[in-house]
Amino acid sequence: MDASKLKGRTHLILDSTNTESVLSGALESGSPPTCVIVDFDETLGLFNSTELYLATLRPRFLALLILGLIDLARPWALLRGPRKRFLYRDWLRVLITSILLPWSLFLWRRRAPEIVKRRTNEPLLAALTGANVPIHVATFGFRALVAPLLKHMAPNADLCVAGSFWAGYRNRSRGKRACVEERLDVDTVAGAVFITDGLDDEDLLQACRTPLLVYWKHTAYEPAFFHHYMPFVYTERGKRMGQRYLLHNVILEDVLLLCIAFAWLMPSPFLGAIGILMLHMSFWTIYEIGYWENDVIAVKNEAKPNLPAGAAAYATRMHPWMAWLTAAIIAAPGMALLTYFNFEAMPLFVTAYSWPIAFVSMLGLWFAYLALSRMVYWFYNRIDTNSRAYLYIGLQMSRTIGYAIFFYTNLAGILLLTALIVGRWLPYFSYRQSGQ
C-alpha cells in the first residue's frame, strides 16, 4: 500500500530525526489538538512487545518447541475470515505459550523496568511529555504485555486500546479506528494527532486531523528466537520457501503413505498412525541437517552455487546437536505409543521383555536408524553431483521403505512405498544426467 494514496489524505512519512520538531509544531498550532493517540509497538517502544515477550519465555527449549509446533500446525488456517495469519497468529502464540508456561506473565512484569530502560523511544516520549494534551495509547498488542511496560514508560498515558488475553484477535478484526472511537468520542478522534509506524492503522490515520506515519531508525524488530534453532524452519523457509513442503510432501505424502503401508495393519491403527507421525517428524529433524549441510557445502565448494532464496538468512539458525535433542524429544512418545499398543506389529519386538526394556531397545534402534540415514546424507553431500543420482535413492528409501525394519507390512505396502521412491528418483536422475 502506498501511504501517499490513502484516500487523498496527506500523511507525513517522517525521518525520525525531525519528528520532535514536527510534532511540536502540530501541538502548538493555532488550534491545539484534542489529544495525542500513539501506537506502542515500534513507536513508543522501539520493539515489538509480542515478539519480545515470546523471546523471553523460559525454559527456552520448551518455548522454541511450542512455537515451532504452532507455526507447523497453523491453527489459524482452521478459523474463518480473511487475513487469518494477521488476525490470529500472534494471539494464539501468546495464549498457548502463556497457558503452557504459566509463570511467563509474572516474569514479564518483573522484567518490565529493565525492558523500558533499554528500549523506550526517548525523543518521542520527550515530545509527548511536553505536550499539554491527553495521551492515549492504541495498540494491536496485548494489554497483559503492554500495560506493565507503559506503567514504567509513561505512567500518565492512558492505555486506550489493547488486545485482551482471551480474545486478542478482535481488535485487529474490527480495526483500530472502531476500537478507539468506542473509548473516545468521534469529535475527539477527529481532532487528534495520531502517531504510528504501520499502514495497518490506515483507518485511524484517515480519521485524525494530524496523522503522522513515522519509521523509526532505531527500531529493533526481530521475530522471537530468530537466531535460535527451531525444528523444520530451515525446510519451510530456507530450503523450500513458499512450497509448504512439510505439509504437502512430508505429511501428506511420506506420513500418509507410511500409515497406509504400516499403521493400517496394526492392532491399534489410529495410535499407530500417531506414533508413525511422531517418528517421522523426529526423522525429519535429522534429515533437515542434510538439507542445511548441502547448502553450506555448495557455498564453500561451488563457484556459482544454486542456493534457495531463504537459505542464507536461516543457515545460522541450524544447530545439529539441537536437532538431535529435538529428535529424541519427539521420538520418545511416538515409540512409547507403538511399543505399548502395537508391539505385535513390530518384527523386532521381543515379547519376553517387559515394556520398559522393549521401549528403550526400540528407541535405541531408532537412533541407530537415524544415524545411518544421517551418514547416507553426509556421503551424498560430499560426492560429485553426477554420482548423487545413485545415492539419492538411498535417501528416499530411508524416509519411506526403511521403516519396514520396525513394522510389518505386506506386498501392497511395499509396492506403494516403492512407487513413491521411483516417482521421486526418476525426475531427479533425469535432472542430474541432462540438467533438465
Q: What is residue 161's predicted lDDT score, i.e. its pLDDT? A: 96
Cell of 221: 524488530
Convert the pLDDT of each residue in 35-58 to its tens digit. 999 999 999 999 999 999 999 999
In this predicted structure, which of 306-320, 363-377, 405-419 has the lowest mean pLDDT?
306-320
Q: Is the pTM of this model over 0.85?
A: no
Percent of the chain with pLDDT over 90: 59
pLDDT-based confidence at residue 7 (cuts at 50, 70, 90): very low
Between helix 269-301 and helix 320-341 the angle, nearest 10°, is 160
- CA dist 142 and 166 (Å) reads 10
Judged against a pLDDT cut of 60, whether residue 9 lies above it is answered with: no
Average pLDDT over residues 311-340: 89
Q: Which of 222, 278, 295, 272 is nearest to 72 (CA)?
A: 278
Q: What is residue 238's predicted lDDT score, i.e. its pLDDT? A: 80
Q: What is residue 18's predicted lDDT score, i.e. its pLDDT? A: 62
In this predicted structure, which of 5-9, 291-295, 304-308, 390-394 has the lowest mean pLDDT?
5-9
Q: For the beta carbon of residue 262, count every other beta carbon within 10 angstroms.
A: 27
Convert the pLDDT of each residue in 129-153 to its tens digit. 877 889 999 999 999 999 999 999 9
Mean pLDDT score across all residues of the chain: 88
Percent of the chain with pLDDT over 70: 88
Average pLDDT over residues 74-84: 88
pLDDT-based confidence at residue 114 (cuts at 50, 70, 90): very high
- CA dist 240 and 311 (Å) reads 9
For 184-193, b where at least 16 C-beta lie within 10 A, e where not — what string? beeebbebbb
Q: Which of 288, 161, 185, 173 is nearest to 235 (CA)?
A: 288
Q: What is residue 432's predicted lDDT score, i.e. its pLDDT? A: 79
Q: What is residue 305's predicted lDDT score, i.e. its pLDDT? A: 61
Q: What is residue 99's predicted lDDT score, i.e. its pLDDT? A: 96
Judged against a pLDDT cut of 50, whether residue 78 lies above it is answered with: yes
Question: Rounded to 5 degrees, what are φ and ψ at 330?
Answer: -75, -40
Judged against a pLDDT cut of 60, whether residue 232 lies above it is answered with: yes
Convert the pLDDT of each residue in 159-185 to its tens digit. 999 999 999 999 999 999 999 999 999
